[in-house]
Structure 1
Amino acid sequence: MSPELAFLLTLTLRMAITAAFVITASIITERSGPVIGALVATLPISAGPSYVFLAIDHDAAFIAQGALTSLPINAVTMFFGLTYVYLARRHNVVVSLGTAMLVWFGLAILVRQFEWSLLGGLLANAVAFGICLPLMARFRHARMPLITRRWYDILLRAALVSTLVGTVVTLSATIGPAGSGILALYPVVFTSLLLILHPRIGGLPTAAVMANGGWGLMGFGIAVATLPLTAPRFGSAIALSVALATCVVWNLGLWAYGRMKIRAV
């Protein structure tokens, strides 16, 4: 088998595996409401596989360096969410999601201009969450209407995430760890959910999913922050496992806290 064919087959397999993760998570989101859906959507079901595949092709130092850029990109995603939440109340999906994407790419380009340290990335997240969480808080509660699926839903989600993973893996050697860290954290799960849900159920309930995702993104940011600390010392496999465990434990804690609040009422 030629090296080109082997690369193509491997890339296709990677894209298919990641697409399966995202499709499964998005279906759970639609059936469980905005709170549980947001917790599922903020698990590393898109960035996680991208980083795993990067770890297969690159060493631990590459992963650690990429994570230093991914960390401020997590803060950028909070502004993506804030933009969408405020526009979705009065505008269609093209305007609200399109503007949010422009904000994300604009801020991502700004992030790319700097060399980031772990402390700098943490400070960027602290500022983003300090601004965005209070502003999104009043949009977290909305009734989730019954969703009727259309034939193209799964194809759309698969195409979005497969394109992202294929781009990250293919370009990683060219754009380096910083560029890979940026692309790996593009919010493809939220993009696919918003793109599908908004036209069917309206802006308010769809915005509630995004608004509830803020606290989950905080845990995701903490998980990303563990990578520069653990990857050089313990290797990529252990570092990525620690990051995944951090996300899962954080979101389970948020779920348990929410259940306690409901019982206390």
Structure 2
Amino acid sequence: MHIELHFILILLLRMAIAAAFVVSASVITERSGPVIGALVATLPVSAGPSYVFLALDHDAAFIAQGALSSLPVNAATIFMCLAYVVLAQRRSLAVSCGSAVAIWIVLASIIRQFDWPLTAGLAVNLVAFGICIPLLARYRHVKMPLVTRRWYDIPMRATLVATLVAIVVSTSGWVGPRISGIIALYPVVFTSIMMILHPRIGGPPTAAVLANSAWGLLGFGMAIAVMHVGAANFGSAIGLSLALSTCIVWNLTLWWNGRRKRMAP
């Protein structure tokens, strides 16, 4: 098979696999309410496939270095969520989502200017979440209205994540691990939630999903740190497996703790 055709077919397959993950997660989010939806949305359904495909093309050192760039970007994501949640209470989708995405891009652009050791990335996350979690708490408890899916929902979500994977995979050898790690962390799931749910059920219920995601995102940040340490010391496969396990255990713990509190009275 011709080399270019082989590359295109493999790329399309990777795009399809990643899109299937994100679409499945977003459908669960719509049907399960803001709390469970947030836990699903903060699983690595977008960044995970991107990093798996990067690991197929690059060595463990590339993955470990990319994780160091991804870690502070996780802090940018929680500020993006805070901006959207606050604006969505009264503003339109264009203003709320547009402003939130713009904040993420600005912060990610600043982050890429520096080399981030593990301790600095962890410190930035602790500061960011220490600020944002208390501010988001008041927006968490909103009843989720019934969602009626439209014909273009799934194609739009699939296109968003497939495009992200295509960019990450096809440009990784050119831009290097730092930029690849930043691009891989673009919050595709959150963006699709904003774009699909806000016009349909309103800003506050949509914002509740993102507000409930704060603790899950904190665990996701820890998983990125685990991936860096695991990939650097034991290889990409172990690093990615440990990161996924961290996310799952963290989110299950959050779910169990929330369920225990609800049943306590």
The bucket for the TM-score relative to the shorter chain is: over 0.9
1:47 equivalent in structure 2:
47
> Are 1:184 and 2:184 matched, yes or no?
yes
Aligned position for 1:96? 96
1:137-148 map, 5 Å: 137-148=137-148
Structure 1 segments of 4+ aligned residues over 4 angstroms from their partners: none
- Cα deviation code 1:80-137 (max 9, x no counterpart): 0000000000111111000000000000000000000000000000110011001000
TM-score when normalising by structure 2: 0.99
| Gap regions ≥5 residues in structure 2 | none
Q: What displacement does 1:38 show?
A: 0.2
Pairing of 1:151-230 with structure 2 (within 5 A): 151-230=151-230
Alpha-carbon distance between aligned partners in 2 of 1:230 and 1:196, rounded to the nearest angstrom: 36
How far the C-alpha of 1:227 sits from its partner, in A, is: 1.7
Q: Once the 2 structures are TM-superposed, how far is the Cα of residue 46 of structure 1 from its aligned partner? A: 0.3
Q: How many pairs does the alignment contain?
A: 265
Q: Which runs of 5+ in 1 are unaligned?
A: none
State the partner residue of 1:56.
56
Aligned CA RMSD, in angstroms, stands at 0.5
CA-CA distance at 1:62 after TM superposition: 0.2
Residue in 1 that maps onto 2:112: 112
Distance 2:33 2:199 in 1: 17
1:75 aligns with 2:68: no
**Matching residue of 2:38:** 38
Separation in 1 of the partners of 2:232 and 2:104?
29
- The aligned amino acid for 1:207 is A
2:139 partner letter = F
Structure 2: how far apart are the matches of 1:92 and 1:10? 39
Letter in 1 for 2:144: M
Cα offset, 1:188, TM superposition: 0.2
Q: Secondary structure at the match of 2:45?
A: coil
Residue 15 of structure 2 corresponds to residue 11 of structure 1: no
**3-state secondary structure, aligned to 1:146:** coil
Deviation of the 1:228 alpha carbon: 1.9
Alpha-carbon separation, structure 2, partners of 1:230 and 1:156 = 34
Give 1:230 deviation, angstroms: 1.1
Q: 1:231-242 alignment to 2 at 5 Å?
A: 231-242=231-242
The whole-number CA distance in structure 2 between the counterparts of 1:160 and 1:54 is 18
Q: Which amino acid aligns with 1:48?
A: G
**What TM-score do the two structures reach when normalised by structure 1?**
0.99
1:47 counterpart letter in structure 2: A
Cα shift at 1:15: 0.2
Aligned to 2:213, the other structure's residue is in SS state: helix
1:247-262 matches, within 5 Å, as 247-262=247-262
Q: Displacement, 1:179? A: 0.2
Letter in 1 for 2:193: L
